[in-house]
Amino acid sequence: MAKIYDVFIPDLGADKDVDLIDVMIKVGDIVDVEDGLITLETEKASMDVPTPYKGKIVEILVKVGDKVNSGELIAKIEATDEVESNSNQADETAATASKIEELKEEVVAVSTPPQFVKEQSIQSVVEEVRVPDLGAEKDVDLIDVMIHVGDIIVKDYSIITLETEKASMDVPAPFGGEVIEIFVEKGQKINSGDLIAKVIKTVVIEDKVPTPTFAASSTPTTVEKSSNAKPTLQEVAARSADIEEESKVLSKKATKVYASPSVRKIAREFGVDLGFVKGSAKKGRILVEDIKAYVKEQLNKPASATGVGFGFNLPESKEIDFSQFGKINRVELSRVQKVSGPFLHKNYLSAPHVTQFDEADITELEEFRKEQNEKAKDFKLSPLVFIIKAVEKALKIYPKFNSSLSSDGQELIMKEYFNIGVAVDTPNGLLVPVIKEVDKKGFKEIAIELAQLSQKAREGKLTSSDMSGGCFTISSLGGIGGTYFTPIINSPEVAILGVSKSSIKPIFNGKKFKPRLMLPLSLSYDHKVIDGADGARFTTTLSQILSDLRLLSL
């Protein structure tokens, strides 16, 4: 005779009103032991609730969007006589393999097992953690030990760091549990197979629904503990949840995938967006093997047109204790520096920079500028005003410089508007306000707007609109000094002009040397879009315009 079993929400610890984000079953489904029934999500982690019974779903009492708590009824399962008579044997044999794999993959599943009865006990198994196969490497340096006796660790938690002549690598824990003994220390030489530590793995044993214990490779030390003994399930669950919180992939796609906290942690370490990974397990669940396959696939792909990919994942810088050499003082970076630093780094790596140097004779321009400033009352013309107009003219002649590369690298997006960004040095860092529609403005309008934007930048009052929509950027160091430099392109733009301090130089006019005021120009451009010949033509044309402002009217 078939028997109906009730399946309840397991003990959720201190969590209340937990979100139910998925129901993976429907009435009539045939489920096996450890098949997922529902998925719960707290602020720190998500987890699947498995079934301890094999049978047919006859009733479902929850739905997506419900707020659930410990002990609430999930579903009713109709088990056959065969299942009832062989339940213990199934738990200890066939279910053992799947249980071990699940426990190895997701410590949260161990940490919060289904508790369908009030009384339970915890059985622990002591297992060894050894150094993995290091190939041909011998006597490898152990440079860091990241665990201590008494620590509660989860699978894939880094426990030691090794360093060879070629690279450094973290050794992850092959399973979760409590560290009871450590056999290595920082600074020693180790080899493949050396013993690192001993760890107690913890499993829940239910009175009515036995949970399979681990089968150790050697004769394990087995101890019985009460449910409040150390390490507690709540401690393990909390540690798993912390790692999940730290390692979530910040993507809307990733929040909708099914993956354990340990898998999400590995994805985070590889820089993989789980939204792009296809899960091979039941219900599309993502396994570690799926992440490895995805990474391998990406590495085998040709470099993207933008040049950004796994190839630029540079090794982290090692922490250096500079105080050993003398007195030091730590100063926190400004908010602007914290934001702009990674952005500049990305821009430099994603675009193959070429910088073209040239000089412009601005002797007549400077004379004209001084004459106009003597007449002007409510504005002041700086050399930068004329450079902005000259750049706008050059962009019309060479439209490639007023473009952006499409995200797939297959097209150029040609812009028919002319917005010029100007880098401004502020106490908090470099900011780039944008002067819009330069082609529709004269010298006076540009001078007034440039002064206003520069003042707003120094006062920290620029809006996002003030700094967006640029086509080309000018970085002027003329008021400070120097000759030439290599400015970094302000992506998604494809070029940037660096302007240095002008100086008097003897220039031969074919008959004799005459003193001329020369302005150094440094043009950096994205070689994926612009050839060297075009770069030289641009700077030559720009220099000609600055040397003879009458060319602006042509």
pLDDT of residue 350: 87
pLDDT band at 494 (very low <50, low <70, confident <90, very high): very high
Better pLDDT: 176 or 259: 176
Nearest to 122 by CA among 9, 238, 211: 211
Instruction: Collapse the DSSP code of 333 into the 3-class scheme (helix H, G, I; strand E, B; otherwise coil) and give the result.
Output: coil
CB atoms within 10 A of CB 407: 12
pLDDT of residue 121: 47
pLDDT of residue 161: 85
pLDDT band at 211 (very low <50, low <70, confident <90, very high): very low
pLDDT of residue 318: 76
Dihedral pair phi/psi, residue 525, rounded to 5°: -145, 160
Residues of the chain within CATH 2.40.50.100 domain(s) are 3-85, 116-234
pLDDT of residue 155: 79
The structure's pTM equals 0.47
For 282: left if phi > 0, alpha if psi spans -120 to 50, otherwise beta; the answer is beta
Average of per-residue pLDDT across 122-131: 79
Report in angstroms the alpha-carbon separations of 500 from 241, 360, 384, 484, 523. 54, 11, 11, 6, 11
pLDDT of residue 231: 46
Type of residue found at 539 = T
Parallel, antiparallel, or unpaired for β 168-172 and 195-206? unpaired
Nearest to 6 by CA among 73, 66, 60, 80: 73
pLDDT of residue 346: 86
CA–CA distance, 173 with 193 (Å, rounded to integer): 14
Among all chains, which residue has been given the structure tokens 């006062």? 459
Kindly tell me the burial class for residue 46, based on how many C-beta atoms sit within 10 Å of its own C-beta (0-12, 13-18, 19 or more).
buried
Dihedral pair phi/psi, residue 91, rounded to 5°: -60, -35
Parallel, antiparallel, or unpaired for β 495-499 and 472-476? parallel
Contact 116, 33 (CB under 8 A): no
CATH 2.40.50.100 is held by the domain 3-85 = yes
Contact 359, 542 (CB under 8 A): no
Better pLDDT: 462 or 115: 462
Catalytic residue numbers?
A: 471, 527, 531
Contact 287, 280 (CB under 8 A): yes
Better pLDDT: 204 or 402: 402
pLDDT band at 217 (very low <50, low <70, confident <90, very high): very low
Exposed e or buried b per residue across 329-364, where buried means at least 16 C-beta atoms within 10 angstroms of its C-beta: eeeeeeeeeeebeeebeebebbbebbbbebbbbbbe
CB atoms within 10 A of CB 120: 19
191, 193, 195, 201: CA torsion to nearest 10: 140
Is 90 exceeded by the pLDDT of residue 545? Answer: yes
Angle formed at CA 26 by CA 25 and CA 28, multiple of 5 degrees: 115
The mean predicted confidence, pLDDT, of the chain is 79
Instruction: Collapse the DSSP code of 359 into the 3-class scheme (helix H, G, I; strand E, B; otherwise coil) and give the result.
Output: strand
Q: Give CATH superfamily name and number for 336-553.
A: Chloramphenicol acetyltransferase-like domain (3.30.559.10)
CA–CA distance, 406 with 426 (Å, rounded to integer): 32
Contact 39, 93 (CB under 8 A): no
Average of per-residue pLDDT across 202-230: 44
CA–CA distance, 262 with 243 (Å, rounded to integer): 8
Kindly tell me the burial class for residue 1, based on how many C-beta atoms sit within 10 Å of its own C-beta (0-12, 13-18, 19 or more).
exposed
SS3 content of the chain, % helix, strand, coil (to 5): 30, 25, 40
Is 70 exceeded by the pLDDT of residue 69? Answer: yes
Is 90 exceeded by the pLDDT of residue 540? Answer: yes
Is 50 exceeded by the pLDDT of residue 83? Answer: no
Report in angstroms the alpha-carbon separations of 434 from 364, 384, 463. 28, 13, 11
Average of per-residue pLDDT across 380-394: 95
The secondary element (H helix, E strand) that includes residue 308 is none
Residues of the chain within CATH 3.30.559.10 domain(s) are 336-553
Percent of the chain at pLDDT exceeding 90: 36
CA–CA distance, 190 with 182 (Å, rounded to integer): 14
Architecture field, domain 116-234: Beta Barrel (2.40)
CA–CA distance, 249 with 287 (Å, rounded to integer): 15
Parallel, antiparallel, or unpaired for β 429-431 and 140-145? unpaired
Token pair belonging to 211:
């949970």
**Per-residue pLDDT tens for 219-254?**
344 444 444 444 444 444 454 444 444 444 333 343
Average of per-residue pLDDT across 323-340: 87
Q: Where are the alpha helices (DSSP H) in 376-429?
A: 383-397
CA–CA distance, 260 with 280 (Å, rounded to integer): 14
